[in-house]
Structure 1
């Protein structure tokens, strides 16, 4: 028996990639260990030291409330901030990040009260010091919990020294800012209608309110006209329409539109026509039909209507009416004037509006202008005060049953003959407390306000009196560099009692005009809000917060303004925090010049939005220097009416400029179907669960990949797509690590000596670098992530790696082509690991540590250096055409593979038919067989076509090769004499 010779095994001679970097990420298990190493190495501190003295970039963190586990909105916000900070650090800037928390106010106090309610305890019976201590402990607990959860996201910052609004130094700074407003006369105490929560018994800010659709009772009420310059009107009834019946007991006037056309109509009910006298009603002409429909729905359809008088609203000047409950005497017996109101429209109702200055902004302003003041009939719990002449002690006024057509208000009005129509069917949007979800009311109470339209005059900071514009020279430079907004203009000028001094509203609007907004539509949004907002109500009737540390003169009601007293107050807060005010020796704070018998300390606390509006003071300025402002504020779009605005107003009122150069706004995280996440629906996507199962880098890549300037979706399908994108990037790094095994600088080949393909890839890297730098400057990290992923997938894995793997595996170790390839791979590695680090912070650290175990952290590195000489547009255009031809050829080969005519593209012989001479030259200038990974490529020339045809001028003919396969590189080449033998290259390498 003859022995069959064994086929030689050349596997050991092939230079296959070798790496310990696993394909399976295992991020959920690896990331905590990386976090622990960062903490042990004090990575944040080392980074600060490394960037010391560099250009600074400050992203000031908007404080979340410390009251529960983080949700997807938190995760999205913090990751986006971390990506911004890391990219700026990568650019070589000193980019500190100080996380912070909002620790005061209703969100925390409400949670503590919930615990009291469960124990059937009365919060008001607990000493204020004890209650505040419980609120502080609650906030401290959740700061600790969220602290670890945010860190687990990979967010790098000064976690050992975050800012908290409840730290003593912060509370001292907050009260110091309040006293600045007091000293400059911008602060005043007044009774205006504000949004009030009867459940929480406090005023609310607009940002603490959300709007929900409700169904209310709508009523038409008749007020008898007792005096008028128009004789026909006396004895008739002016009709108002309202959806808040509970405000009728506090009515003090009626309003009409001066230019609205009114008419007096009379009717007799059909079934009483012979016995009843006509009743006349005054309404707007345009609303007659709707009024008739409502009235007939109550009294029946057979009405006889008659027009009695037509005139303009201006004819109603001086007209007096009486309240339908006038028989109760006292407050209700006084005649009500009819007043001209520009806000009266004919959109709905009757064209006449009842005025309750306690419960409406327009009502309050119009009545005040006519000498009518609020009466404070509704108490903080939503009930009429006990001594009120009608329904005293009853309520709550927002209870639907109390306002129902058969409720006490409508029943009494009906009995008095004043109720014409009532139905519980009016659907509309209504404000609710964001925290308790209960309906709010507008209620006039004594509150503290910061005026928006008072000229500031001599009280302005000196820089503003000098007209130096908004911000500093450094800010102007930042704006010119594209970090901020348009060039700075002089401050707005306004007339008024203080000469040409601007108002707070004008300062804020001017600051908005000179701030960069990303996206730019944010400018219009916040601008419209500031332009139309009322004065800022900064007081709350709660216990947990920074007190309004002012003394009121018991006789005049004016607050004390004395810099020496204010300095003692701030010093007391620095030593003992805000609690010092509640246990203060007020005589010691007032000093020898004032007597506590003459001055009453205030007990209201500050709106938490004032607290958070001051964070730039005790975080940015306190850490980085006076007049330093943040480069960027970054929050959700709801903060145009929240933190962005409160910070803007606080800074403009005390410093005359915005506290930021730029504002970035992102949308909200929705579920996979685009719905708002809700526990009741059961569609909440928990970021902590995602991290525990898939790792934080998956969540970070999702954030970076979304169009976060709008609302974004997250669910199983979205995360599956993100995971797939992550795997492709990870596999790119795995290939690079394996292909670079054993690489040293001695192997490097100069750019000029590299083959065209390798030089083209460095051109592509330079183009990627430019794109990523542009995306970073624009804060467009979805563009950044997409460009990075596309480069890894399309330029590298599907093209460059695919072509050059033959050279990597089979060329001699010292072959110039292989050395050039590995030189480029080394350059790619150092660039890509840096580019990926801001987004995939854990994976990039793992990649870097795999290649350089003793090389420190990837996050200490800076943006890669890209040689401008790598860019070559001629080379780019040439290779773009080659890639297009390669794609077409691959499409022609694929049917043969699917039909099992060939096993791989290496078995394909290709004949190129081309009628374009430039393509002939192009194909001949490269080894298309190597590029397309085929056996051979030959060109079949044809005479040029006189005019270009309609089809492609290049086509490919593909057939199975008859050539034998090299036993080492598996290429089918003419020099291989028999199957399994070696080609000339492999013979040389193996030999």
Structure 2
């Protein structure tokens, strides 16, 4: 007689390994998907379904991916995969931004390293080098994105430098030209002295910077009733170099002002006893302290006291012999300074708007290299910043001249946030320069209103996730000036405009624009620089009558036009897109420019929804940088852990806020991954040899199995809205908790005995395996968009007869449909009570084990005292089975004083008694019946039957 019953126990069997080896396994799965042409299979099988289009915001093709790229692309992949599995045709086309300053700067750096002059190179040759550089990095980034598991039409990606794209961009600019929205103007724009070009707001970043400050007297030469004659209006500025460009002063209509006399001067003060000044009343003390004098308020001033006031420029008599008007300005505050702002219309957006509105001259004072023009009195050739971005001699020269003229009241320095170029990291200036603009407030018949009106209406019609994005974008559009779309660079789509030399008006001829677009489509935008103008002008015009514009377009106009050449007219996609998804900085970038481009040509946004994510910081909440050594590279994470760990990290945080990543966080995600993987492995092992003949109908299942299916129905009901809300964190958290708590710590724990030891024909075992097949189907489907590699690996290890098992890839499946009968709210409530009772029992047995009175729960036969509600919930349920003991008794009544209890489960007490009998050699339960069988004296009756059946 054999006593080795191990072979008769149905232990889990699977080839799905415990150790993931993702770094090696994931590339193998990528090859499988490529070989089976998974993306094309998805498109074929999705034909006819409702379309869902996430339009890709183009990353910039100029280097390896960083962790922010990984976050962004994985989020996009989560969106497109989850929408696909909801039953839509979710077609994703990736794309790249290829034009603009960053690439041009890289090529220039190569020239500088060789001591070569970039300007000596033919523009066509320089542009070809830029194109080759971008093309190289597209290839690198494409493979890095694929390695993250991002599924898309990688064979047919879009790029802004493709000939067809450049043609469309030129054509879109042509629409603004034809409808009158595009015009040439001279405005104060953000200007990089280092890069010698205008910059967009989105190309600006703010850093701490030390600026010189000056308090300057503007002597009043005319005032109402002579009340302020002889006094000085005092201004404070952090940009002394703008004083030569001053043409007006501004006051705040709601600010209280006073006429002040210098009562007493301190040591080193430039103030003079008895002199009078006009200051904001609440700043009188601060100005006196800074300028080292004791002020005496002579009287309050009303706004009408400033009517018609004229002051002298502080450098009058030295080439600045004009009067300066005092104008009301809503942007003037009394937060700091003097309550007055000096207005240099060529050096500030507010200054320009106020000056133009009041007929003030907009002088040209600073050239593109940051130096004063030769015509500027006193300061010709002085530099605001050098070509290297270093502070020049302009500030000191102006301050010294003011001091010499007796108009400098105080000099100082301030550390403050100041705009810098995103690329060169050098400070920028506001500079008056001829540029091309798209008007925000000009009525355009073709769109039925102004661009601002249409953009604001489009924002109101757009869904924002999170909702805060609505206010951010709307406030930007409400306040933004006209869109400066010209750049003084070489690499990009040119501004394809001819200007009449006699009238100064741009040529608005659709035939000319059509020839430009046709040429670009055939040969690319280089033809604008390399072809004679007659090619575009045709026979209707003489080339000598026109100036051909050689500026290039703002790169944001390029990316703002991607919706046209990617979505419009493509039968595989649709316009407008369902969603744009980028970082929150794109409210002033891609979301913004796409909105303006589309509203200006089509009258509505190119998207129905906008989703934003935060930025990625290190574990201490610091920005990542090489100098800090705190960079987490996605390539390194893939090599060490695998892309699925990175994907779990993305869903493991609230991506709408800033996220953190680093070694400890990745270890935590790897541990969470192991729990998910072990769940899949246990299911696969328990389903070894499973076939459909075992399947048990829902109505015939034990209540425990029906409760598990109820939990699946609950999760499904929560997950589908979460997909529409893009709440992947909720899905991932619920899945993890379901696997760890409901399954591993509860259902699997209870049913392990039935799976291992029940006879193959037993209802309980068959029902458990039926439910486990559903669990496997459900979990692999819901994990597929998140851990796309692991879900596929598990799916390929599946038994033949799991639900939907015919699918060749888990990614060709849809989310399983949950039968309505599975959702049973009453059952769910009942089992909350059952689980609470069980928790008291397991707590008692855990204490016994800790005290070494038992080694296993199977050595126990607890007596459980419970009140009526628990007794009712346990009706028709087996206490022994649920608590994994060998015996036990449920007794109605209040717990005894000596019982084990839990404070949060009143009404349940446990006396952890020992089971009586012998241990079954197969299932290890301690039962009185063991030893009574002549044939199998070491087995219990259940195990004897299972062995006999086998």
TM-score by length of 1: 0.91
Q: Is the 8 A contact 1:516 1:662 kept in 2?
A: yes
Q: CA deviation at 1:980?
A: 6.7
The alpha-carbon distance between structure 1 residues 357 and 963, as it changes in their structure 2 partners (threshold 3 A), is same
Q: CA deviation at 1:574?
A: 0.6
Identify the match of residue 175 of structure 1 among 157, 170, 193: 170
Identify the match of residue 856 of structure 2 among 887, 900, 904: 904
1:245-256 to 2 correspondence within 5 Å?
Answer: 245-256=240-251
1:100-148: CA deviation from partner (whole Å, max 9, x where unpaired)? 0000001111111122221122222221111111111110111111011
**1:958 counterpart = 2:947:** no
**1:371 counterpart = 2:359:** yes
SS in structure 1 at match of 2:864: strand
Q: CA deviation at 1:402?
A: 4.3
Q: Distance in 2 between matches of 1:839 and 1:772?
A: 13
1:613 corresponds to: 560
Q: Distance in 2 between matches of 1:205 and 1:837?
A: 40
Q: Distance in 1 between matches of 2:227 and 2:776?
A: 92
1:217-236 to 2 correspondence within 5 Å?
Answer: 217-236=212-231
**1:893 counterpart = 2:845:** yes
1:184 corresponds to: 179
1:733 corresponds to: 680
Q: Is the 8 A contact 1:217 1:403 kept in 2?
A: no
The alpha-carbon distance between structure 1 residues 231 and 855, as it changes in their structure 2 partners (threshold 3 A), is closer
Identify the match of residue 514 of structure 1 among 461, 465, 486: 461
Identify the match of residue 455 of structure 1 among 443, 465, 470: 443
Q: Distance in 1 between matches of 2:66 and 2:529?
A: 35
1:450-849 to 2 correspondence within 5 Å?
Answer: 450-456=438-444, 458-460=445-447, 501-624=448-571, 628-849=575-796
Q: Is the 8 A contact 2:249 2:327 kept in 1?
A: yes
The alpha-carbon distance between structure 1 residues 828 and 449, as it changes in their structure 2 partners (threshold 3 A), is same
Q: Is the 8 A contact 2:189 2:199 kept in 1?
A: yes
SS in structure 1 at match of 2:726: coil
Q: CA deviation at 1:250?
A: 1.5
Q: Distance in 2 between matches of 1:661 and 1:272?
A: 63
5+ residue gaps, structure 1, are 1-5, 461-500
Q: Is the 8 A contact 1:849 1:855 kept in 2?
A: no
Q: Distance in 1 between matches of 2:879 and 2:272?
A: 104
1:929-948 to 2 correspondence within 5 Å?
Answer: 929-942=880-893
Identify the match of residue 94 of structure 1 among 89, 106, 116: 89
Q: Is the 8 A contact 2:644 2:787 kept in 1?
A: yes
1:281-296 to 2 correspondence within 5 Å?
Answer: 281-296=277-292
Q: Alpha carbon RMSD of aligned pairs, Å?
A: 2.3
2:940 corresponds to: 983
SS in structure 1 at match of 2:604: coil
The alpha-carbon distance between structure 1 residues 766 and 117, as it changes in their structure 2 partners (threshold 3 A), is same
Identify the match of residue 973 of structure 1 among 918, 923, 927: 927
Identify the match of residue 335 of structure 1 among 320, 323, 345: 323
1:520-563: CA deviation from partner (whole Å, max 9, x where unpaired)? 11111111111111111111111110001011111111111111
Q: Distance in 2 between matches of 1:7 and 1:268?
A: 114
Most deviating of 349-358 and 165-174:
349-358
**1:238 counterpart = 2:238:** no
Q: Is the 8 A contact 1:19 1:734 kept in 2?
A: yes
The alpha-carbon distance between structure 1 residues 816 and 670, as it changes in their structure 2 partners (threshold 3 A), is same
Q: CA deviation at 1:238?
A: 2.5
**1:423 counterpart = 2:412:** yes
5+ residue gaps, structure 2, are 801-805, 897-902
The alpha-carbon distance between structure 1 residues 748 and 342, as it changes in their structure 2 partners (threshold 3 A), is closer
Q: Distance in 2 between matches of 1:955 and 1:792?
A: 28
Q: CA deviation at 1:865?
A: 1.9
Q: Distance in 2 between matches of 1:17 and 1:944?
A: 40
1:276-312: CA deviation from partner (whole Å, max 9, x where unpaired)? 884332333332212211221xxxx6x6x55556532
Q: Is the 8 A contact 1:262 1:313 kept in 2?
A: no
2:310 corresponds to: 320
The alpha-carbon distance between structure 1 residues 17 and 901, as it changes in their structure 2 partners (threshold 3 A), is same
SS in structure 2 at match of 1:975: coil
Q: CA deviation at 1:580?
A: 1.2
Q: CA deviation at 1:651?
A: 0.8
Q: Is the 8 A contact 1:268 1:279 kept in 2?
A: no
The alpha-carbon distance between structure 1 residues 245 and 924, as it changes in their structure 2 partners (threshold 3 A), is same
1:494 corresponds to: none
Q: Distance in 2 between matches of 1:615 and 1:515?
A: 19
Q: Distance in 1 between matches of 2:904 and 2:544?
A: 99
Most deviating of 119-128 and 171-180:
119-128
The alpha-carbon distance between structure 1 residues 107 and 974, as it changes in their structure 2 partners (threshold 3 A), is same
2:343 corresponds to: 355
SS in structure 2 at match of 1:75: helix
SS in structure 2 at match of 1:438: coil
Q: Distance in 2 between matches of 1:600 and 1:919?
A: 90
Identify the match of residue 280 of structure 1 among 266, 276, 280: 276
The alpha-carbon distance between structure 1 residues 975 and 554, as it changes in their structure 2 partners (threshold 3 A), is same
1:454-511: CA deviation from partner (whole Å, max 9, x where unpaired)? 122x332xxxxxxxxxxxxxxxxxxxxxxxxxxxxxxxxxxxxxxxx42211111111
1:22-41 to 2 correspondence within 5 Å?
Answer: 22-41=17-36
SS in structure 2 at match of 1:218: strand
1:197 corresponds to: 192
Most deviating of 618-627 and 889-898:
618-627
Q: Distance in 2 between matches of 1:649 and 1:822?
A: 57
Q: Distance in 1 between matches of 2:912 and 2:785?
A: 46
1:400-439: CA deviation from partner (whole Å, max 9, x where unpaired)? 764698x222122211212111012x23221111111111
